[in-house]
């Protein structure tokens, strides 16, 4: 009887620890653990992840129509349907290795197929899904992190944003600059209340290489509007300073808002952390 019980216990342990039924506990993208409110799952030996992980951290655009999901990034497009293994990839019909489904108001999709379609590499070990995406290259140098600095009344804060898709998206926004202009006569981190046409820096953005050196720096400045309108006529509201090339451009409020949305998204998903805080 003892031998029978021991055999049943061993069988139970082996069944519980079977890789095919093990739960996926973490998703890592570019070595960062993704914060998500929905746990990844393993279905029929296929890792299924919440759709938001794909759209927010791999930089894919998502469109919904009824039960059809369209994912697009760069020149690649995937069209999925809930509860169907048929997928249209770049105009050609293919067969998915996992079926998209809805659970607790969250859409789950097969991570490997989608990530590899968008040029990423996927590895699964011991309950952790590791996704490696293509880094941003500036002057043939790989960007490892983006440092975002801003100042308050007393002191400043530097945040480090990781994740290649965030670097790509942020750099793309900075390329949406307007016409080139002359440098303003008065600009700094501080708000100058004495000079009409003065600018104060909203934020500094440094794209850092693998040696932790700044390869490209952009600064965003906002016009001090604490003066009558007639004194501010002709002054752009927002300016972009390409520090690396010492060039100034007109920038837009919408671009500034898009940058802040990316920073907020990176923060919520675990890709942003404070590395320096001198605020008193």
Same domain, 167 and 233: yes
**pTM of the predicted structure, to 2 decimals:** 0.86
Composition of the chain by helix, strand, coil, percent to 5 = 20, 40, 35
Residue 88 lies in a domain: yes
Residue 2 lies in a domain: no
Q: Which residues contact 189 (CB under 8 A, 6 or more apart)?
A: 151, 156, 200, 201
CA dihedral 139, 258, 55, 143 (to 10 degrees): 20
Residue 10 lies in a domain: no
pLDDT at residue 17, as a whole number = 35
Same domain, 155 and 254: yes
pLDDT per residue as tens, the chain (280 positions): 444 433 433 333 223 333 433 455 788 999 999 998 788 888 888 888 888 888 889 988 888 888 899 999 888 899 999 999 999 999 999 998 889 999 988 889 988 888 888 889 988 888 888 999 999 999 999 999 999 999 988 899 999 999 999 999 999 999 999 999 999 999 999 888 888 999 999 999 999 999 999 999 999 999 998 899 888 999 999 999 999 999 999 999 999 999 999 999 999 999 999 999 999 7
Residue 6 lies in a domain: no
pLDDT at residue 11, as a whole number = 34
Residue 8 lies in a domain: no
Find out whether 145 and 208 touch, Cβ atoms under 8 Å: yes
Same domain, 270 and 141: yes
Same domain, 113 and 145: no
Around 180, how many Cα atoms within 13 Å sit in the side-chain half-sphere? Answer: 4
pLDDT at residue 84, as a whole number = 92
Same domain, 166 and 253: yes
Residue 146 lies in a domain: yes
Length of the chain: 280
Same domain, 270 and 153: yes
Distances (CA, A) of 150 to 78, 206, 244: 38, 12, 18
Q: Which one of 87, 111, 132 terminates a domain?
A: 132
pLDDT at residue 2, as a whole number = 42
Same domain, 57 and 124: yes
pLDDT at residue 14, as a whole number = 29
pLDDT at residue 74, as a whole number = 85
Number of structural domains found in the chain: 2
Residue 245 lies in a domain: yes
Q: Which one of 68, 100, 132 terminates a domain?
A: 132
Range of the domain at 194: 137-277
């Amino acid at each position: 009887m003892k031998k029978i019980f021991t055999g049943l216990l061993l069988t139970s342990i082996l069944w519980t620890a079977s890789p095919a039924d093990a739960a996926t506990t973490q998703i890592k993208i570019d070595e960062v653990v993704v914060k998500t409110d929905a746990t990844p799952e393993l279905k029929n030996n296929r890792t299924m992840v919440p759709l938001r992980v794909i759209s927010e951290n791999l930089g894919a655009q998502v469109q919904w129509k009824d039960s059809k999901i369209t994912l697009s990034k760069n020149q690649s497009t995937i069209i999925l349907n809930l509860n169907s293994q048929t997928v249209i990839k770049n105009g050609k019909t293919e067969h998915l290795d996992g079926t998209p489904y809805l659970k607790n108001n969250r859409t789950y999709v097969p991570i490997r197929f989608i990530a590899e379609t968008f040029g990423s590499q996927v590895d699964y070990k011991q309950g952790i899904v590791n996704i490696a995406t293509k880094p941003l290259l500036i002057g043939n140098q790989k960007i490892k992190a983006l440092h975002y600095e801003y100042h308050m009344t007393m002191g400043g804060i530097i945040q480090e944003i990781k994740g290649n898709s965030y670097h790509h998206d942020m750099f793309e926004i900075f390329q949406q600059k307007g016409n080139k202009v002359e440098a303003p006569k008065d600009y700094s981190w501080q708000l100058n209340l004495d000079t009409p046409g003065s600018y104060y820096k909203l934020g500094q953005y440094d794209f850092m290489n693998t040696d932790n050196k700044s390869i490209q720096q952009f600064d965003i400045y906002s016009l001090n509007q604490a003066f009558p309108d007639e004194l501010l006529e002709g002054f752009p509201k927002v300016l972009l300073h390409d520090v690396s090339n010492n060039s100034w451009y007109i920038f837009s409020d919408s671009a500034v808002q898009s940058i802040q949305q990316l920073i907020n998204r990176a923060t919520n998903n675990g890709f942003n952390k404070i590395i320096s805080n001198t605020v008193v």
